[in-house]
Amino acid sequence: MLAAQPEVNPAPTREAQKSAEDKFHHKPVIEKYPGRLAGRSISVPSLSSEESYGSVLGDSTRENPYAPFKSKVDWEIAKWAKLRGAGSTAFSDLLNIGGVRESLDLSYGTSVQLNKIINDKLSSRPKFTRSEVVVNGEVFPLYSRDILECVRALWGETDFTPYLFVVPEKHYIDKGKTIRMYHNMHTGKWWWSTQEAVEKDNPGVTIIPIIISSDKTQLTVFENKTAYPVYMTIGNIPKEIRRKPSRRGYVLLGYLPTSRMKNIKNKSARRRILGNVFHACMAHILAPLKEAGKTGIPMTSGDGVTRRGHPIYATFVGDYPEQVLVTAVKTGECPTCEVPRDELGEDTDFPLRDLEAILTALDALDEGPTIYAQACVDAGIKPIYHPFWEGLPYTNIYRAISPDILHQLYQGVIKHLIAWVTACSGEAEVDARCRRLPPNHNIRLFLNGITSLSRVTGKEHDQISRFLLSLVIDIQLPDGHSSSKLVGAVRALLDFVYLAQYPMHTSETLAHLNNALQRFHDNKSIFVDLGVRDEFNLPKFHSCRHYTPYIKSFGTTDNYNTEYTERLYIDLAKEAYRSTNFKDEFPQMTLWLERKEKIYRHENYIQWRLDGCPSPPVIEDIYPGIVFERQLKMTKHPTLKSVRMSRLVTDYGATLFRDALARYVVHLNNPDLSPLQVEQNSQDLSFAFNSVPVYHRIKFTTQDPYSAPGGPDSVVDSIHVQPRKTLKNGEDLPARFDTALVNGGNGQITGVTGYRVVQVHVIFSLQARHIRSLFSRGITPPRYLAYVEWFSPFKDPEADHLMYKVNRSMKDGYRRSSIIPVVNIRRSVHLLPKFGPVAPADWKSSNVLDKCSHFFVNSLTDRHIYATLF
């Protein structure tokens, strides 16, 4: 008798998921923290940040906004030298060229003189100081800043003032307040509960959540030098601002010691001492938070308003080794909960680590090393000498360990999943399918396959995850195993990865996140059946269980992703190191950073002066999910001014261009005609021209709502339409005609209703004189038109992989084609070939759209398409 198979949880229906996510596009119902005292001002508004900065510079800025520099040129050269220029010696050599300094009328003649102006005349964020930390009788140098002054600097930044969150809020998507919404940190439960706790003894407080991030990074390969930067930001700043390095929402708190302590031969003793060094340094840096978090300190924002702020350590952002180091747990264990090491792979929740019991164990330090070590073992931690979080008010370090999209999901879950899929499917077949995927703006092609890649980055794992599902559909598994469970397991994990990164969540979408994780557990036995895994006791897989409660507590994961601080390493560690003479580098690195920050600060002040010294604007609250709509953008001038119609047929593949254009003209002139009448009337239409202007690209952009009006848009998608060409080096570049999603007129924000897939072959426009000859008076066609070939309409998605299947739409042996307005094209779309058991040998990336007859519409290329294709 066969054992009963466990019931598999189905994925949420398309209707349920669409209903949940359509609500993102409505203004939430907001419940602010009760009472008028929370977040209130405690004094009469004083000088704004810019006014205070100008007062420090003195009277010289009244007539000259660039002071202490003589002129705009004097200032621009200084800014270029510090932000974009060559090294100090090269800059001095340039100024020493006869006549250069005189012709530019500069106030400095060498880098030393410029540095003196910056050091003496400009001010910015707090200075670094050198301290010494003694551990185990050894002295370690620490370069750090006053954390409270860093908090004041962020809080007082004029650019952040209109957007600062000063009180917690509960956001709902329904008037009955039954479905909670989470996005920025102030919408999470932690801020609200912390506000209540602090308000018991201190009414009228403003909570300032402190977010700390650290990660050791290599500065140079040749000398094997490393830096250990620690960064800080505050949760009051919107996450959309914090995640952009150009907005400078993070502050470098310090460089921790990087001694390898090779003199200690015992590895466990060395690790223990290095852990004590880390905690001692962090305790030194964060010590001011102990009193300030309890009693509060005056905090003045950029508009001159002063509040009583309570800076409280809220979250730690770091990879798994850093999490283990911070929480003092053993490698291989969960830094958050009490799950046994051999049960990490189970779909079971475990309680959080008991902070009170751990603090009690730490109190045993005075009873001797043996008793202390045993007390720590019993509490489940390493015997660290005074962890830095000991004594921090309102802080539970085991609740503060944030999810990490980059390392946990892409460098963990996806990395393992790729290896398992490869083991199941075979390296040769996996690589063959990778080489046969068509191009797309959001897809990186791995034309040499993926199995031979070494040192794969998180971005590369991200790119592979976008087409990973196509590698297992219809794959031939050994021993006659069906691929349905493998497809189900892969789809479930990919769903989890995408849902985990949503910029906003509701109670409903978090249920979908949990459902995706459960579906993986329901299907993961396929990897055991195929001999790929014996168990799943991996900390990074287990961490997925903590995403939902953490999002509810601290907001969505884009509040605390290590990917943002990875970019800071380039600016604040590696670039700083390159500016030194590579000897005793940290004093030089910190001084370089201070000067750079002063230049940025002075640049903001100059712009404020040039703008007429405006007050910080009052900004209406901005909610994620509402403002990030895409805009279609075309170049002002065509790529080619004139392309003959015969060439559109031969080079662009627009086989029926004349017929399609004729039908379009007839229909626009006579919209009431039936399709048959349009076809008949188009036969008699002739054109007085034989060429049209052609464009080779469509772009889609989004405007950052937190940037200044008229600021640059971000290109988020594009469609390439270009014939084969030969490069200057003689290399042939294959033709590329991308596929796109077209709105037929009744398409909505999400869902496939009203949409079709097309392949775009020509993007063109009609000249004014030709429009007059073709169209009736009063009828003006759209400026940009496209010749497209159609794919079949959307039907229900297939059960295992949940993607839509489409094929070419044919008529009389020809592909159905039309002329459509370019504005009907919503975005690019990636088609995944239906390979069958083995990928055909004659398929290539450049010809697969023509060779293959059936495709799956890829819903995993980016979050926008993921939220669109239901």
400: pLDDT confidence band, cut at 50, 70 and 90? very high
Higher pLDDT, 491 or 84: 491
Helices first, then strands: H and E counts in the chain:
31, 31
Average pLDDT over residues 529-537: 93
**Contact call for residues 182 and 188 (beta carbons, < 8 A):** yes
The pLDDT value recorded for residue 4 is 45
3-state secondary structure 88-147: HHHHHHHHCCCCHHHHHCCCCCCHHHHHHHHHHHCCCCCCCEEEEEEECCEEEEEEECCH
Mean per-residue pLDDT, 438-466: 94
pLDDT tens digit string along 411-424?
999 999 999 999 99
Predicted TM-score of the model (pTM): 0.93
**787: CB partners within 8 A, 6+ apart:** 648, 652, 654, 657, 660, 661, 760, 761, 762, 764, 817, 818, 819
Residue 307 has φ and ψ, to the nearest 5°, of -125, 165
pLDDT of residue 711: 61
* Mean pLDDT (whole number) for 60-74: 88
Predicted confidence (pLDDT) per residue in 544-597, tens digit: 999 999 999 999 999 888 887 777 877 777 888 888 887 888 898 999 999 999
For the chain, the average pLDDT equals 90
Please state, in angstroms and rounded to a whole number, the distance separating the CA atoms of residues 671 and 690: 25
- Give how far the C-alpha of residue 462 lies from the chain's centroid of Cα atoms, to the nearest Å: 11
Q: Percentage of the chain surpassing pLDDT 90?
A: 68
User: Is 90 exceeded by the pLDDT of residue 752?
Assistant: no
With bands split at pLDDT 50, 70 and 90, how would you rate the model's confidence at 13? confident
Work out the average pLDDT over 473-487: 88
Q: Which helix (H) or strand (E) holds 77?
A: helix 72-83
Separation CA 348–CA 375 (nearest Å)? 28
pLDDT at site 571 = 76
Find tokens 């005349």 and name the residue.
Answer: 121
| CB 269 within 8 Å of CB 277 | no
102-128 mean pLDDT = 92
Can you give the pLDDT at residue 708?
Answer: 63
For position 267, what pLDDT does the model report?
76
Q: pLDDT band at 25, cuts 50/70/90?
A: confident
More confident residue, 686 or 761: 761
Residues in the chain: 870
pLDDT at 563: 81
Determine what percent of the chain is predicted with pLDDT higher than 70. 96
pLDDT in tens, 774-783: 998 889 899 9
What pLDDT does residue 520 have? 95
Inform me whether the pLDDT recorded for 139 exceeds 80: yes
The two tokens of residue 49 are 């940040």
- Tokens linked to 790: 């159609």
Distance CA 749, CA 795 (A): 18
Predicted local confidence at residue 480, as pLDDT: 83
More confident residue, 750 or 668: 668
Judged by average pLDDT, the poorest of 247-251, 259-263, 764-768, 845-849 is 259-263
Give the per-residue pLDDT at 2.
39
pLDDT tens, residue by residue, 276-295? 999 999 999 999 999 999 99
Band the pLDDT of 712: cuts 50, 70, 90: low
